[in-house]
Amino acid sequence: MIEHEVIIVGAGLAGSWTAMVAGQRGVKDIGVLSKIHPLRSHSGAAQGGIAAALNNARPVAGTGPRGPLEPVPQGEDPPDSPELHMFDTIKGSDWLGDQDAIEIMVNEAPEIIYAYEHMGCVFSRLPDGRIAQRRFGGHSAPRANYAADYTGHVLLHTIHEQALQHGVEFYSEWYCMDLLVEDNVCRGVVAMDVLTGEIHTMRAKAVMFGTGGYGRAFEVTSNAYANTGDGVAIAYNAGVPLMDMEFVQFHPTGLYEHGILMSEACRGEGGYLTNSEDERFMERYAPDKMELAPRDLVSRSEQTEIDEGRGIGPDGKGIYLDLRHLGAEKIKARLPQIRELAIDFVGVDPIDDPIPIQPTAHYSMGGIPTDADGQVIANADGQVIADADGTPVVGFYAAGECACVSVHGANRLGTNSLLEASVFGRRAGHAIADFVQNGAELHPVTGDPAERNRQRVARLMDGAGSESVEAIAQELKQTMTDDCGIYRDKERLAQAMQHVGEMQERFKDARVMDKSKRFNTDVLAAFETEHLLTFSEVIVAGALAREESRGAHYRTDFPKRDDEGWLKHTVAHKGEPGEGPRLSDKGVNIDWDRFPPQERKY
Amino acid sequence: MTTNGSRPRMVTVRVQRFNPDVDEKPYFDEFQVELTPAKTILDALHEIKTAQDGSVTYRRSCRHAICGSCAMYVNGKNILVCNTPLRDKIDEEGTVTIRPLPYLPIIKDLVVDRSSFWEQYERVKPWLIPSADVPEKEFRMSSEEVAALNKAETCIMCGACYSACQVIAMNKRYVGPHALLKAFLRVLDPRDMAPSERLADVGDQDGVFRCHTIFNCIDACPKDLDPTKAIETLRKLAQKRQAFEAARRDRQRMLNEPIASS
Ligand SMILES: Cc1cc2nc3c(=O)[nH]c(=O)nc-3n(C[C@H](O)[C@H](O)[C@H](O)COP(=O)(O)OP(=O)(O)OC[C@H]3O[C@@H](n4cnc5c(N)ncnc54)[C@H](O)[C@@H]3O)c2cc1C
C-alpha cells in the first residue's frame, strides 16, 4: 500500500498547477500519477494561444474585424477588459456557462499569463517587448497570448519544470484505474505501475483529477491516443455524476483524413475557408465574423457545404484552408508548426497551396462537476453526491478538461481551455492545501481494491471470450461519429444508445492478445476502451434527452435554443446495471442584470 | 513501381522484439502491411498491434510530433514514427526495419528506459530561476531574444539526439545534448538569475567540454534543432564567464523597460 497526503492524477497543465501550488503552500507529500511521461501530456499539443485581456495589442482603427493589429500605446485607454472577455465567453457558451465561474476565470487570466511569463515561458513579443496577442474565434478583441504555434508545449514544459522543484514525486507511466470513494469520502485510487504490471492501492487525504479530455470516442479527432477520458469514466463508476457530457466540440480545421489540428490561429492570422467552388462560404453563415465565428458554427457550416456536395477531396468530405495570401514570411514566423504538419501529413506546403481539412472532434465541454475551487460537487442542485444531507465528495477535486466548472457551457472559445486548466488547477492547489493543512485525515478503505482490479486484468487475459478490443473501439467511434456527431436527431441517437449498450455487453467478452505483465499496453488499451464505452453512453443519453440546439449540440429535429425548457445543465448519475444513466439537471448561474440570455448571432 | 490497380502493395515491417522477462536476446518479427499514401509508420505499428500481434509494444501519444513519445531507430536512423510516412522508409527490399533507440536499456520491444536521460535533464535544473522581485506585468524581451530561445524551447525531449550521441554511448555521465540544450535555454534567457552557476555546472568535463562535435545530434533531431551549436555557445560563455556575468547584470537592470526600437 502506498500513501501520500495528496495524490494528483494527471500531469498536464491542470494537474501540474495543482501540484506546484500545493507544493509551494507547504504540502509535503504529493504524488503525481501520469499514464504517460508528464511532458507527453496533451496540453503540450495546444497550438494557438491562451486568453487574457492584457491590452497589449489592438486592431488598427478603421480597418475592420480582420484588419492589421498594432501595439496599444502606453497610457492610452485599454480597449479590452475582463468584462468583455466574460461577455464573449458567455455568448460563446450559448449562455450555458456558469457566470460566477467565468468571472473568476477572466479576472485571474492576466495574472496567470504574467505568472507563466515570470516562470520562464517564452511568449512571442511585440516590438516594445510586451507579450504579443492575436485574434481568436468568438473573442471580440485580440487577446490570445501565444508562443508562435506551440503555446501549449511551452506552457507545459514551464509548469512541469517548476513543479519539479517542489519535491513533488512523479509516478510516470502509472495508470489509474479506480477511484476509492466510500460514504462520500474519497480515500485514494488504484493504479498500475505500467513497467512492472503491479497494481497498487494508493491512499491519500485528497485526490485531484486532471486527466484531460476524451476526443478519442470519435473516428476523426485532434486528440492524442491518450485522451480516452479515463478520469471521467473512473469517477462515474465510483458514483460521481457527470455534467453536460453531450457538448462535444468539433473543431473546423483538422487535417483531412488525419484529424490532426490546424490551429485556429491559421484563421486568427487571416486564413480563408473555401469550398469546391472556390467560394468563401462563411459569407453565407456568419457575414460579420466570417472564418472567425465560433467553432460550433464554422464546423456546422463546413458540414452543410460537404453534405450539399461542395466539399473537396476524393470523397468530397474536405474543405480548403487557404493561407497563401498571408505570404511566406508570416506563415514561417507565426505558423511554423502548421506548415511542417501540412507538409508531413498531406504533402501540402501552405505557402503554395490550400490545405485540405475537415471538422475534427476536439474538446469535451462536459465532465466531472466542480465548484470554482476544484471541489467535486455531485448533487443535481449543485450540492454533493446524491445523499440526503448533500455534503461534498470530501477530498475529491478535479480541474482542466476532465472537469466541468462550467466555464465553457455549450461551446468553448479557443484559448479559454489552457486558461481554464491553469486558473482552476491553481485554485484546486490552494483548496487542497487548505484542506490538508486544516487537519484532513487518511481514511481506511474497505476490502482489497487492488485485488478487485487485478481480477479485472485477469479476466481480460484468461477469460474464455473472443471479442476484439480494437473492433469494439472502432465500431464505437464510427457510431459516435455517424449518430452523435455534428448533426444529431432522435432516431439516430436512439440507435446509438442501443448500439453502445450492445457494445458494452460485448466488451464483457473482450480479450487481450498480450498476456505478459511487463509494460502491457494491450491491457491499457482495453481499459481505455472500456472507459470510452462508459462515458459515450452518457454523451448519447444527454444528447437524446436535450431536445433543443445549443452551442455544439445541434438537433436537426429541434433546431432552436429553448431557454424555457433547457437553460440548465444535464447531470448524469450511473444507474443500476443494465439501466443506463439517470439524468437530472442543475441550474445555470446567470447574472440576470448584466448578462441575460440573448440570441447568439455572429 | 507498377501496380495493376487492384492488388494492394504490401510492405514488410520488421520489428525488433524483446521482453527481458522471457527472451534471452532481441529478435525480429516480420509483419505485412498494406501501403497507402497517407499511412505513417506509427499507423503501421498500430495496425500490427491491433490486428496481428497485440504484444508488440511501443510508446505513442499525440500523433503529430509534439509529445516526444515515439522516437525509434528506423532503417538505421533515429526518427519520430508518427510524422514519417511509411512510403518514405521502404528500403530496396521493400522492407522497413524498426528498432528501439540505440544505447538505452530496453524495457520491452520498442520501449526504452530513458532514466539516465531524465536524470541529466533534472541535473541541469531545467526550471528558470526567477527574480524574487518580479514586475507587476511581464518582463520585456526583444523578438531577437525570443528567437534565440526558440531554438531550444521547441525541444520535445524525445531522446533522438541523446541516443544518437557517440559520447553518451560510451559514457552515461555526460550531460548530453538534450540537457545542454535546456541549459542553453536558461543561460540565454535574460530573466534567469543563475546563468553563472549554470555555466559553472555544465562547464566541467562531463558537460560542454565532453562534446566531441560529431554532429550526430543535429542529424537525429526531428525538430531541426542544433544542440551542437548550443553546446559551442555554452562553451564560449563558460570560458569568459566574468564578462558574461557583467553583461547579464546590465541587461537585468533594463528588464522592466520597453525595448527601444533600433
Ligand atoms: C491539438 C489541440 C490543440 C489545442 N489548442 C488549444 C489552444 O491553442 N488553446 C487552448 O486554450 N486550448 C487548446 N486545446 C485544448 C487544451 O489543450 C486542453 O483542453 C488542455 O490542455 C487540457 O489540459 P489538462 O491538464 O486538463 O489535460 P491533459 O494535458 O490532457 O493532461 C491529462 C493528464 O492526465 C493523465 N492521465 C489521463 N488518464 C490517466 C490515467 N488513467 N492514469 C494516469 N494518468 C492519466 C495524462 O497522462 C496527462 O498527464 C487544444 C487541444 C488539442 C487537442
Q: How far apart are CA B164 and CA B156, in angstroms?
A: 16
- What pLDDT is attached to residue A45? 95
Chain A residues with beta carbon closer than 8 angstroms to that of B41? none
| Lowest-confidence region among A113-122, B169-178, B181-190, B240-249 | B240-249
Which member of A40, A143, A216, A295 is catalytic? Answer: A295
- The partner residue sitting opposite A120, judged by closest CB among B53, B83, B189, is B189
Q: What are phi and psi of A103, to 5 degrees?
A: -60, -45
User: Which site among B45, B64, B113 would you substitute to test the A interface, given the most A Cβ atoms closer than 10 Å to its Cβ?
Assistant: B64
**Residue ranges of chain A with per-residue pLDDT less than 70:** 379-391
For B126-136, the pLDDT digits (tens) are 999 998 899 99
Q: Tell me: pLDDT of B29 over 90.
A: yes
Mutate to test the pocket of ligand 1, among A43, A149, A200, A405 (most ligand atoms within 8 A of CB): A43
Tell me how close the Cα of B155 comes to any Cα of chain A, in angstroms: 9
Question: Average pLDDT for residues B151-161, to the nearest whole number?
Answer: 96
- Average pLDDT, integer, range B120-147: 94
What is d(CA A514, CA A528) in angstroms, rounded to the nearest whole number? 15
- List A470's β-bridge partners, or say none: none
d(CA A461, CA A440): 39
Is the CB of A7 inside a 6 Å radius of any atom of ligand 1? no
Ligand 1, atom 11, lies closest to the CA of A415
CB A563 within 8 A of CB A503: no
* ipTM exceeding cut-off 0.90 for this assembly: yes
Paired residues of A64 in beta bridges: none
Catalytic residue status for A295: yes
Residues 6+ apart with CB under 8 A from B197: none
Nearest to A50 by CA among A366, A268, A344, A208: A268
What pLDDT digit, counting tens, does each position of B68-119 carry?
999 999 999 999 999 999 999 999 999 999 999 999 999 999 999 999 999 9
Domains of chain B: 2-112 (3.10.20.30), 115-252 (1.10.1060.10)
Within 8 A of B149 by CB-CB distance, chain A residues are: 122
Query: Are the C-beta atoms of residues A263 and A384 closer than 8 Å to each other?
Result: no
Residue B186 has pLDDT above 50, yes or no: yes
pLDDT for residue B1 = 42
Average model confidence (pLDDT) for chain B?
Answer: 93
CB-ligand 1 contact for A264 (6 Å cutoff): no
**Nearest neighbour of B61 by CB, restricted to A117, A225, A520:** A225
CB B164 within 8 A of CB A148: no
Question: Which of B80, B75, B81 shows the shortest CA–CA distance to B97?
Answer: B75
DSSP 3-state of A523: helix
In short, whether A477's Cβ falls inside 6 Å of ligand 1 is: no
Residue numbers of B between 34 and 93 with CB closer than 8 Å to A: 38, 40, 49-51, 53-55, 57-69, 83-85
Out of A41, A128, A195, whose CB is closest to B259?
Answer: A128
- What is the per-residue pLDDT across A361-376, written as a single tens digit (0 to 9) for each? 999 999 999 999 999 9
Judged against a pLDDT cut of 80, whether residue B5 lies above it is answered with no
